Amino acid sequence: MSNGEAPDLVCQLDDVQGIVDALTSVRWKKHQDALVELSEHGIVLVVEESGCLQAKVYLKKDIFHLYEYGAEERPRFGLGLGLFVDCLNTFTAPACSTTLEIRYPGPDMQLLLKSVDPVDACIYAEIRTRIPETISWDNFETTVTLPVSFTVKSAVLKEAIDDLEWPGSSIQIMLNPVPPSVSFRSEGHGDLQIDLHYERTDVLVAFQCDHQVSHRYKYKFIRATTSNIPSSVLKDNRGSKLTIGRGGILKIQHLVALVRPGVHHHVDIGGYQTPARVAYIEFYVKPEEEDTVNG
């Protein structure tokens, strides 16, 4: 980009720690390449592994207090996720919030980060970007008009997945409409099954299934969906939504609050305090095998 050209994007936000938490939740190994797409609606970051696990972080434009988008087409670029998170971490402060400006592209197609209201010093970083790799799959579809899904308290989901590590290398997820319940089962060195019943509303927040469903997934991919979930999500314990789509593809959704304590929240119809700004995290996991139970 020449000095006279307007950038594709200039945006500012004041809760850098929230962005770090959201991006860390999809960082399941030390070295990961990420694809970033910019649009008039916000920023999307995508990472994937082995064509079987994919994660997306949605940073919608309304989480930024400034979002100036000037590109004619949606720019895409690649970068190292770990490097991006480490750079963002330099802009976090324990006692106060630093306003961060993100600008793309720089003179050599860099991603530029800068603090805009420093008290003592200005922090500035440049991240070299590269031509993005093609995403190998992006075709999640629900199978019917009534999607098979359930919402479980986030802390319960993480605890269940952690407990299922020792028996074997895969997890079977089973949904039964009568009585409405979800079972997580692992076999191998041992045999462990965890049952969650919809009547226990403190565990299962929502349940939607009209036929028996069963799919098996690699444990390491399922574990990646909760292994780095932010402590704020576990503390709020609002709920993570799991949906099984066509071909058994599992979608797991988390919400990460981007508002610091003391900032106004509004209450939703379920009685939960909903942060004014959230990042949406989605994981997609392909099954090991086809349906073992037909509804």
Secondary structure of the chain in HEC code, one letter for each residue: CCCCCCCCEEEEECCHHHHHHHHHCCCCCCCCEEEEEEECCEEEEEEEECCCEEEEEEEEHHHCCEEEECCCCCCEEEEEHHHHHHHHHCCCCCCCCCCEEEEECCCCCCEEEEECCCCCCCCEEEECCECCCCCCCCCCCCCCCCCEEEEECHHHHHHHHHHCCCCCCEEEEEEECCCCEEEEEEECCCEEEEEEECCCCCCEEEEECCCCEEEEEEHHHHHHCCCCCCHHHHHHCCCEEEEECHHHCEEEEEEEECCCCCCCEEECCCCCEEECCEEEEEEEECCCCCCCCCC
Phi then psi for residue 139, to 5 deg, are -135, 40
**Dist CA 175 CA 185 (whole Å):** 11
| Spatial contact of 159 and 223, defined as CB atoms under 8 Å apart | no
**Dist CA 235 CA 57 (whole Å):** 20
Least confident of 28-37, 248-257, 281-290: 281-290
**Confidence at residue 261, expressed as pLDDT on a 0 to 100 scale:** 44
Examine the pLDDT at 105 and tell me if it is beyond 80: yes
**Confidence at residue 30, expressed as pLDDT on a 0 to 100 scale:** 87
| Spatial contact of 267 and 275, defined as CB atoms under 8 Å apart | no
pLDDT over 90 for what percent of the chain? 57
**Confidence at residue 265, expressed as pLDDT on a 0 to 100 scale:** 44
**Dist CA 163 CA 192 (whole Å):** 9
pLDDT in tens, 241-268: 999 998 899 999 999 887 654 444 444 4
pLDDT in tens, 110-137: 999 998 876 667 888 999 999 887 776 6
**Confidence at residue 14, expressed as pLDDT on a 0 to 100 scale:** 85
**Confidence at residue 202, expressed as pLDDT on a 0 to 100 scale:** 77
Examine the pLDDT at 295 and tell me if it is beyond 50: no
Tell me the mean pLDDT in the region 224-252.
Answer: 89
Rounded-to-10 torsion of CA 259, 85, 88, 38? -80
Q: What is the value of pTM for the model shown?
A: 0.87
Identify the sign of the CA torsion 226, 53, 221, 141.
positive
Strand partners, 124: 114
Greater confidence (7 vs 3) lies with 7
pLDDT in tens, 188-209: 777 899 999 988 667 898 999 9
Tell me the mean pLDDT in the region 274-280.
Answer: 73
pLDDT over 70 for what percent of the chain? 82
pLDDT classification of 107: cutoffs 50, 70, 90: very high
pLDDT classification of 80: cutoffs 50, 70, 90: very high
Tell me the mean pLDDT in the region 270-291.
Answer: 73
Tell me the mean pLDDT in the region 144-173.
Answer: 86
Examine the pLDDT at 55 and tell me if it is beyond 50: yes
Angle separating helix axes 81-89 and 16-24, nearest 10 degrees:
150
Task: Retrieve residue 112's tokens.
Answer: 């530029």
Tell me the mean pLDDT in the region 28-43.
Answer: 94
Least confident of 74-88, 101-115, 155-169, 239-253: 155-169
**Dist CA 247 CA 140 (whole Å):** 9
Question: Going from the N-terminus, what domains does the chain have, and what CATH number goes with each?
Answer: 9-127 (3.10.150.10), 148-285 (3.70.10.10)
Q: What is the mean pLDDT of the chain?
A: 85
Tokens 């082995």, residue located:
50
Examine the pLDDT at 149 and tell me if it is beyond 50: yes
